[in-house]
Amino acid sequence: MPLHPAVVHYPIGLLCMAAALRVVLLWRPTPWGEASARLCLWTGTVALAAAVLSGQASLPTSLSPPASEVLETHRQLGFFLLLWYGGISLWELARLQGMGEKERLTLALVHLIGSALLLLTASYGGTLVYEFGVGVRKG
């Protein structure tokens, strides 16, 4: 059984939850909310690394040109998101001791942008599976 389909949903859920928590924390900052947002971010980033690496390890050998284009976009977005969330993780690690209001707003926006890119990447993955049959057993 390929690992990539089993892993991909964890980073989507965890990183979108981190973004949602960051937005809530703009209005109701709490220590447990901060801890929850960071836990979602850091575990989601590790899960994202697993998704990217497992996807890379299970690349199909031959695809039609349209499917190859979608796959390449999906791959590039995956690597970009790994850098994106790695950067956010380092940012939050460096700023463990409180952020000002503007920095918290910026962080929430960066999380929301990341979530949008993550969902776009997932959409490309869905296109590969449901339109082109990549990773689907024949017969």
pLDDT greater than 70 at residue 139:
no
What is the DSSP-derived secondary structure letter of residue 35?
A: H
Q: Does residue 137 form part of some domain?
A: no
Q: Does residue 135 form part of some domain?
A: no
Domain that holds residue 15: 4-130
- Is residue 11 within 8 A of residue 47, CB to CB? The reply is yes
pLDDT digit string (tens) for 80-116?
Answer: 999 999 999 999 999 977 789 999 999 999 999 999 9
Count of domains for the chain: 1
Q: What is the pLDDT of residue 96?
A: 77
Q: How far is CA 129 from its chain centroid?
A: 18
**How far is residue 129's CA from residue 134's CA, in Å, rounded to a whole number?**
5
pLDDT greater than 70 at residue 6:
yes
pTM (2 d.p.): 0.94
Q: What is the pLDDT of residue 1?
A: 61
